Chain A
Amino acid sequence: MLLELDDVRVHYGKVEALKGVSLTVEEGEIVSLIGANGAGKSTTLKTISGLRKVSSGHVRFAGEDIGHMPGHRRVERGICQAPEGRGIFPGMSVVENLEMGAYARRGSVRGDTEDDFDRVFQLFPALADRKSQTGGTLSGGEQQMLAIGRALMARPRLLLLDEPSMGLAPKLVSQIFEIITEINGQGTTILVVEQNAAQALARAHRAYVLETGRIVKSAPARSLLEDDDVRAAYLGGRIGT
């Protein structure tokens, strides 16, 4: 087991955002976490990447309890997140943004990053044409690609994606998910949070449904696509996706 959340509770002040979330991610999987706005999806990811502190419960990564480790250390352990709303560095060029992705790695290994640049530009050829353009001038889709590419520069064992389809045109959404599948094929484990449940379920191996801070369903992604409750709540009424 690569990642395990065990009865994790997280508070924003007095409000309990996660009310005992337990989930696991096995090496090599794509696991998606779906749920409505405010269900606690982003909070779950932030708890794994270290932006949020757990109130109680355990976060274990590769057997180690990382629940109280600061975020920048978790990157060294092999967890990297592409943040919600892209969170790229607007004043840095595409190349500088990608270099930031390798920031933690250079600290210890000082290995060259050329292979990683090649890999990112292969996955996202659009970025290769914009190397010296600053992040703020990219389109929404390009920014999303940059955010994912930047996270890959850390050579993560576990890649966390927060709403990769947010604000993107439908065609771009399926393209992004194709690339996510490809990254997974190259050996990176992925945990993806999505409101676009149709895409997320079609691409994932397993999925969890989160409602108001609790996991209410966990099953192979395909079977959730057929699940009546899930269809009604997250897939119903969506046309064309």
Chain B
Amino acid sequence: MNRLQIPDVRGSLSRSWERLPRWGRFAVYVLLLVGAVLLPADSIGRIMAPESDWKSILFFPIGVYVLLAVGLNIVVGEAGLLDLGYVAFFAIGGYAMALLGTEQGWSFWVILPTAIAMAAVAGVILGAPTLRLRGDYLAIVTLGFGEIIRITANNSNWMGGPRGIAGIPHPPNVGHVSQLQYGVIDPKPYYYLVLALLVIVIVVVQRLKHSRVGRAWMAIREDEDAAELMGVPTFKFKLWAFAIGASIGGAGGVMFASKVIAITPSNFPFILSVLILAAVVMGGSGNIAGVILGAFLVAWLPERFRGFADYRVLVFGGALVVLMIFRPQGLLPSRQRAEEMTEGQGGMGSMGAETAAET
């Protein structure tokens, strides 16, 4: 078998990370968190986004994209299921916030858990019949699901049709701290809100990843048949991955809708599914740091290079192609992912496993 040689897959950075003692890692986490809290500073904004409102893009697209990518990573990066319709769950969260907020007058803090549950149920409804499919077939069905939600919203009066829903309430203010006053002008409180949610999500996801569930996902990703033969209830765990990924997408939708006041179906295009998937894959699916980096770049680069006007998407596409040629495993891949790539199977879904039989 000819094996593609990938030089220095893990990088010296991740190697020294693995040598860090527990307290050292904790210190790094604290530093990262402090960094994230200080990120909206004007001095940083002048460098990062001289042509746009840095604080505003920190919330959307950057913060929301990172949240979505972390959610999609569970489906694509951990369980190895190719989902091309992830935007559907983002839309479900967004529309839940919009409809329950305007029609029912519910508060953000009631809608958030409700929408998370609704998105999770939607994930199960989509997953139960389709997770028996594999690889590209699953991708096609999920793609369809993403479109179904958007087109349904476009054609349903109760969902506002093409004009969408306006007058979505903001989250309630918390005390009198200026960082927690949710109005129209200051985007910083929204950034801190999404940051807080992100921290909780990352902690939960990392716990899951290192549990029996995470090990089962890894086995399914690497060889679904072998996983079943080892006693892993593969269908159940794939459904779990879908539901958890979906609920994070739903949370992202609630965040987004609670700031923008009005949403329309055009906020949830197919291209958003692709962008988030690109973030996961180019960052390094399966590795949370890589995925966050990928989502940050996908969200930030087009904003940073607004000067290129219409060409920025072209440049972005070119950069993606170049990256996939020279670093197909992503910027910061997980150890296992890198190994699976060299093995030539276990890409997206289990397409590779099916073709691996040689006689």
A interface residues (Cβ-Cβ under 8 A, vs B): 37, 49-51, 70-72, 75-76, 80-81, 83-85, 87-92, 96, 99-101, 103-107, 134-137, 150-151, 154, 166-167
Contact = CB atoms under 8 A, between A and B. Distances in A.
A89 B218 contact: yes
Contacts of B215: 96, 99-100, 103
Given A83-B229, A89-B219, 13 more contacts: A85-B356, A85-B357, A91-B340, A96-B215, A100-B227, A100-B232, A103-B212, A103-B216, A104-B232, A106-B212, A135-B339, A136-B340, A166-B358
Interface string B233-273: 11100000000000000000000000000000000000000
B336 to A, nearest CB: 3
B107 to A, nearest CB: 41
A166 B358 CA distance: 9
A72 B222 contact: no
Interface residues of B, number: 33
**Chain B binding site: helix, strand, loop or mixed by DSSP?**
helix
A84 B226 CA distance: 10
A50 B231 contact: no
Contact of B229 (A76, A87, A92, A136): A87
B6 to A, nearest CB: 12
Given A103-B231, A136-B339, A154-B231, A91 B218 contact: yes
A75 B231 contact: yes
B136 interface: no
Interface centre among A88, A103, A136 (most CB of B within 10 A): A136
A31 B60 CA distance: 63
A84 B233 contact: no
13 contacts: A70-B233, A70-B235, A72-B230, A87-B225, A87-B353, A89-B223, A90-B343, A91-B335, A91-B340, A100-B232, A135-B339, A136-B339, A136-B340
Contact of A104 (B231, B335, B358): B231
B102 to A, nearest CB: 45
B226 A89 contact: yes
A138 to B, nearest CB: 10
B229 A103 contact: no
Contacts of A101: 230
Contacts of A84: 357
Contacts of B336: 91-92, 134
A33 to B, nearest CB: 16
A59 to B, nearest CB: 15
Interface string B96-114: 0000000000000000000
The 9 closest A-B pairs by CB, nearest first: A104-B231, A91-B336, A75-B231, A90-B343, A136-B343, A87-B226, A91-B339, A71-B228, A89-B222
Nearest to B216: A103
A37 B229 contact: no
Nearest to A84: B357
Given A89-B218, A90-B346, A83 B226 contact: yes
B345 interface: yes
A103 B357 contact: no
B342 to A, nearest CB: 6
Contacts of A50: 228
Contacts of B342: 90, 136
Residue of A37, A71, A99, A107 ringed by the most chain B CB atoms within 10 A: A71
B230 A150 contact: yes
B43 interface: no
Nearest to A38: B359
B337 interface: yes
A107 B211 CA distance: 13
Given A84-B357, A90-B339, A49 B222 contact: no
B231 A76 contact: yes
